[in-house]
Amino acid sequence: MLCGCSGISLSLGGRLILSDVGLEAKPGEILGLVGPNGAGKTSLFEVLCGRYSPDAGTVTLDGRDVTRTPFHRRARLGLGRTYQSPVVPASLSVGEAFRAARKSHAPYLSRHDAEWAARLTHLHVPWDTPAIALGAFDRRKLLMACLMMRRPKVLLMDEPASGLINAEIDELDLIIRQLVDEYAIGVILIEHRLELLSAVADACVVLDLGEVIATGPPRDVFDDPKVKAAYFEGADA
Ligand SMILES: Nc1ncnc2c1ncn2[C@@H]1O[C@H](COP(=O)(O)OP(=O)(O)OP(=O)(O)O)[C@@H](O)[C@H]1O
Ligand SMILES: [Mg+2]
């Protein structure tokens, strides 16, 4: 298994946020992680990447138990993570952001690595552009490129389509598909619009109120009455 977890339970502020959650990301596949607002998707990412320590359960990465391994060591083992908000360094240009990312890697990465990652993520902007001046999609591309330079084995992507228009979402799908098909990266993709996931995901896990309510191929999962109820009787349709 590339990256996964089993039996994960997590409480925050005295509230049970995740209960007995398990999933598995495979190399060269996109696993959709779906669920209404507040279902626990981002919290599960925090557990997988090591920012939250679960009360119970096991997290594995590339065949190792990393449940107690700190965030930065999981990153070095090949885990990459993007966030719901694409926050770029306010005082840096695109080129400076790349340089900072190159130099935070041991050993330093080369400018060639940055150019490769920019091409891979379709980031076609002058490198002297202030990162803060980039639009939402280019910010996401820059952050993704900085991650890809480290050649992660698995990418956790938290609502990467948020804030994008339809044509941009199509391009994002192409970029992610290329990461998976050409580089055999395993992607766990959070998205709560079911129709977007059915186009790209190989499999889906649906969370509701911190529990897995369905898992399997997207079409089957989205036809599941429990999933329909969670979406259409819940807060977010
Ligand atoms: N640090 C925290 N302390 C207490 N409760 C938290 C904390 N972080 C998240 N929660 C609660 O945990 C639940 C799950 O939140 P989470 O952000 O994981 O959901 P989500 O599925 O990512 O939702 P969204 O689709 O809105 O991003 C929510 O009820 C949220 O209020
Ligand atoms: Mg979230």
Q: What is the pLDDT of residues 151-170, one digit of tens each?
A: 999 999 999 999 999 999 99
pTM of the model: 0.94
Type of residue at 45:
F
Decide: 19 in ligand 1 pocket, CB within 6 A. Answer: no
Q: Reply yes or no on whether the pLDDT at 236 is more than 50.
A: no
User: Which residues sit opposite 212 in a β-bridge?
Assistant: 207
For 124-138, the pLDDT digits (tens) are 999 999 999 999 999
What is residue 234's predicted lDDT score, i.e. its pLDDT?
53
pLDDT > 80? residue 123: yes
Per residue in 45-104, pLDDT (tens digit) is: 999 999 999 999 999 999 999 999 999 999 999 999 999 999 999 999 999 999 999 999
Residue nearest to atom 9 of ligand 1 (CA): 43
Q: How far is the CA of 43 from the centre of ligand 2 (A)?
A: 7
User: Could you tell me if 25 and 2 are in contact, meaning their C-beta atoms sit under 8 angstroms apart?
Assistant: yes
Q: How far is CA 107 from the centre of its chain?
A: 25
The alpha carbon of 52 and the centre of ligand 1 are apart by a number of angstroms equal to: 12
Question: Which ligand 1 atom is nearest residue 43's CA?
Answer: 18
Q: What is the mean pLDDT of residues 212-237?
A: 83
Ligand 1: atom nearest CA of 45 is 18
Distance 2 CA to ligand 2 centre (A): 22
Of 116, 151, 186, which residue constitutes the final position of a domain? 151
Do 169 and 235 fall into the same domain?
Answer: yes
Q: What is the DSSP letter of 124?
A: -
Q: Comparing C-alpha atoms, which of 129, 38, 144, 34 is closest to residue 83? A: 144
* Residue 31 and residue 52 in one domain: yes
Is any ligand 1 atom within 6 A of the Cβ of residue 41? yes
Domains: count for the chain: 2
Helix (H, G, I), strand (E, B) or coil at 55: coil
**Is residue 110 over pLDDT 70?**
yes
Question: 218 is in which domain, residue-wise?
Answer: 5-9+14-78+152-237
% of the chain at pLDDT higher than 70: 98
